[in-house]
Every structure is written in structure tokens, then in C-alpha cells.
A and B are shown apart, each in its own frame.
Chain A
Amino acid sequence: MIILYIVLAVVVIVAFWLIAVYNSLITLRNRTDEAWSDIDVQLKRRHDLIPNLVETVKGYASHEKQLFENVTKARAAAMQAKSPEEHAKAENMLTNTLKSLFAVAENYPQLRASENFSKLQDELSDTENKIQAARRFYNGNVRDFNTKIQVFPNNMVAKMLGFGKYEFFEIDEMERENVEVKF
């Protein structure tokens, strides 16, 4: 009889523990998803700034057709990305095309002097900072969540309960200062 009670007690305790773990994992996962939407907002903002930028540069350097095509293609690809890893790759490519764009802009002093251009550059740089900030928050949440599903004894049940690891979001920072090309 006693054995039966002990077994029942153990079952109840394990059940309560499972519920607690499940609930905390759900909470962490929802927080992480919400943190991702922060990044998404900033990425969208970045994508929205680019057409304006391209038009402004076209106004002064209309024959750099390849450059504009690269930027536009990279932007379209970035807007299609789905998983954090895809996003990271696409955004890095976009950053590279933008770097070339700004490097070329150095050759056009009138463009550099244009107020519109410098304002757009400012906004873009601020968006980069915001993406980094949102990324730090997101990665912090990912770290907490991944840790929680990997420690013992949670790791035994995490997969069973349907919780998979989240990927970190790693994108390169664009250079803060534009390189001054002096002749």
C-alpha cells in the first residue's frame, strides 16, 4: 500500500514539474518571437529607406547602372528571407552592396554635399544602430531560451514537448564612418 502512495506522489511531483517547465518554456519562446518582431520592424525600415537612396544617387551618377541593379536585387532578396539565418545572409549581402554604393558616392562631391543624401545616410546609419540594438535583445532572449532547453533535466523533455533550439541572429555591422578617398 505504502509503495502505491509513494509512486503516486512521485507521479504527481513529476507532473507538476513538467507543467512548470512547459509554461516557462512557452513564456521564453513567446518572448523570443516578440523580440524577433523588433528586428523585423527595423529591417523593414532599412528596406524602405533604400529606394529613396538609390533615386538620390541616380540623380547625380546615373550611369552606375550595375551598382543600382545590385542594390535593388539585394534588397528584393532581403525582403524575401524567411528564417533568421536567411535574413542574416541576405542582410549581409545588402550591406555589401550599400558599401559599394557609398564608396562610389565618394567620387561625386555634389552628391556628398546634397542635403537629401546626407540625411538618408544619417537615417540609414541610425537604422543600422537600431538593428544592432534589436539584435542584442533578440540574441539575449535566444540565449535564455536555448539554455533553458539544454540544461539538465529539462533537456530530457524539451524535444518531447516540442521545443527546438533557436538560432542566433548574426549580421555584420556596416562601417560607421565612410572612408574618405583623398587624391
Chain B
Amino acid sequence: MYKQIDSNKRRTVALMILFIAIILFLGWFFGWYTGYQYFWLGGAIVVSIGMTLFSYYRGDKMMLWSVRAKPIAKEDNPYVYRLVENLAITAGLPLPQIYIINDPAPNAFATGRDPKHASIALTTGLIERLENEELEGVIAHELSHIKNYDIRLMMVVAILVGIIAMMTQWLSYSWGGNRRGGGGGGIFVLIGIVLILVSPLIAQAIKMAISRRREYLADASGALLTRYPAGLASALEKISAYGEPMKRANNGMAHLFIANPFGSRSAKGIAHLFDTHPPVEERIAKLRKMA
């Protein structure tokens, strides 16, 4: 497990470097094309470093805000609070900030840059639908992500890739749309080239964050915490049986949730293209074999 932690930390750094390189390249490219070298390159440096720092220090708050998660104190929901508290003690982790998302779809995620600055979010749907042991299994799985520093890598990916995805979408809509209006064909080609270059890099970045091994490890570590792998197994069954999408789901964060937030039956979203999680049947089978 300690190798996993080191690997995650290294990948996060690699990802940040890759991201800065992409932005710098874009900055250089635009500078070369338009002739305003210093402006574009300088802007690129500021933007890329700023965004990287933002993703590292504020990424978790950003993600929690985007799904309208609300923090809870012990009095708000003592049942959930105590479950998380006791499992954190078993894991030897400091207690993370606990958030609740008002959504009937059962789902959960964890985020933060390290165990001392971690948060865990659960939907109301999850709390209502799952039994004790099942909810414990899910929480233990998320706590394992925190312990393994998976959350640092996944958070940085979510924010940086989300921003790039947004930017490329914006570029293609605003400038591609002018095509028929007589806008310069040259610019369209330019945008096309940029998109062609950047998209595979985005795909690569997301692939770096997604790893079946990481999810299986979190499943296994969680089972070790609770000593009851059947709990998480039946939780996964219940979660995948619920087909509807979440009220607020976006591509950048899809891979962080324990289940596809676009709904298990949906073909939408990057989640489908890049297969953010190993198939649920396999996870359930592996867990039941542990019992």
C-alpha cells in the first residue's frame, strides 16, 4: 500500500507538470501565430501556475460546491457522524469533514489534498437506502481513498481537466460557430489543430487518474477496515440497481464518485468513454470471494 501512496504523489506532480506544459505550449502557439509573444506566453505562465495552485489548495472546496454539498456537525446527523468517526479511528486517520448532498441517487465521494485536509460527501439517497453494514462499507472504501492519497491525484485531475475541457468547449462553440458567418477559415483550422492536439492529452490525463487497480485496492482496504466485505458488496449492488442520474453531474468529477453519477444505464459522459470504474459485477464478485 505504501507503494501506492508514493505512486499517487508522483503521478500528481507529473500531471501538474504535464498541464503546465500544455498551457505553456498553447500560450507559445498563440503568441507565435498572433505575434504577441510575451503577452501570450506570460499569460500562459500565470494562468497555468495559478490554476495548478488553485486545483491543489482549493480543488476540494470547488468540487464540493459544484454538487452543492453541505457540511454537517455531530448534532445534524449523529448516526452518520458516528459511523465516519469510528471508521476513521479504525483506520488511524484524522476525522475528515463530513458533507451531505441532497440527492435521491445513492452515491459518495472523498476529496482533499491529504488525510489532514480531507472531506467525504454522501448523498441523502445513500444514507436512506443502505443498511448499517453497507453504509460502513462505502465509508470505509472512501476512507481508504483518503489514506492512499488517491484523492489528491483525482482532485487535481478533476479541476485541471475540467478547466481544459471547459475551455476547449468554449473555444469550439464561440469560434466554430462563426464559421458560416464568414469568419476566417484560418482561425477555424487553428482551433481544429489545437483541439486535435489537446484532446488526447486530456484523455491521457484522465487515464492517469483512473486505475482499476486503485479502485480494487480501495475496495480491499475498505474490507480490511470493516472486516465485512459483504457489506460493500451488497451496497454496490443496491447502488448500481438505482439507474437514475444525479441532479448535478459533470464530466470532470465523474470518476471520483463510487458509482457513475450519470446513472448506471446512461451512455452519457466521459464516464462511458473512459470507463472510470471497473465493472460493478467484477467488484462485487471480488468482494464476495473475500468473505
Contact = CB atoms under 8 A, between A and B. Distances in A.
Interface of A: 35, 38, 42, 126, 129-130, 133-134, 136-137, 141
B82 A126 contact: yes
Contacts of B82: 126, 129
Interface in B76-95: 82, 85-87, 89-92
Interface of A, helix, strand, loop or mixed by DSSP: helix
B85 A35 contact: no
Contacts of B91: 137
Nearest to B224: A140
A129 B136 CA distance: 13
Nearest to A126: B82
Interface of B, helix, strand, loop or mixed by DSSP: helix
Interface residues of B, number: 9
Nearest to A39: B89
User: Which 7 pairs show the lowest CB-CB distances between chains A and B?
Assistant: A133-B89, A133-B90, A133-B86, A137-B92, A136-B90, A134-B89, A129-B86
A129 B85 CA distance: 10
Contacts of B92: 35, 38, 137, 141
Nearest to B93: A137
Most buried by A among B87, B89, B90: B89
A164 to B, nearest CB: 22
A136 B92 CA distance: 10
Interface of B: 82, 85-87, 89-92, 227
Nearest to B88: A133
A92 B51 CA distance: 55
Contacts of A136: 90, 227
B126 to A, nearest CB: 21
A42 B85 CA distance: 12
B115 to A, nearest CB: 14
A171 to B, nearest CB: 15
A136 B136 CA distance: 15
Nearest to B82: A126
Nearest to B83: A129
Nearest to A138: B92
7 contacts: A126-B82, A129-B82, A129-B86, A134-B89, A134-B90, A137-B91, A137-B92
Nearest to A137: B92
Contacts of A133: 86-87, 89-90
A10 B171 CA distance: 64
B50 to A, nearest CB: 37
A139 B51 CA distance: 43
Contacts of A35: 92
Contacts of A126: 82, 86
A70 B90 CA distance: 31
Nearest to A41: B89
Contacts of A141: 92
A91 to B, nearest CB: 17
Contacts of A42: 89
Given A35-B92, A133-B89, A136-B227, 15 more contacts: A42-B89, A126-B82, A126-B86, A129-B82, A129-B86, A130-B85, A130-B86, A130-B89, A133-B86, A133-B87, A134-B89, A136-B90, A137-B89, A137-B90, A141-B92
Nearest to B226: A136
A38 B92 CA distance: 8
A142 to B, nearest CB: 13
Nearest to B87: A133
A136 B86 CA distance: 11
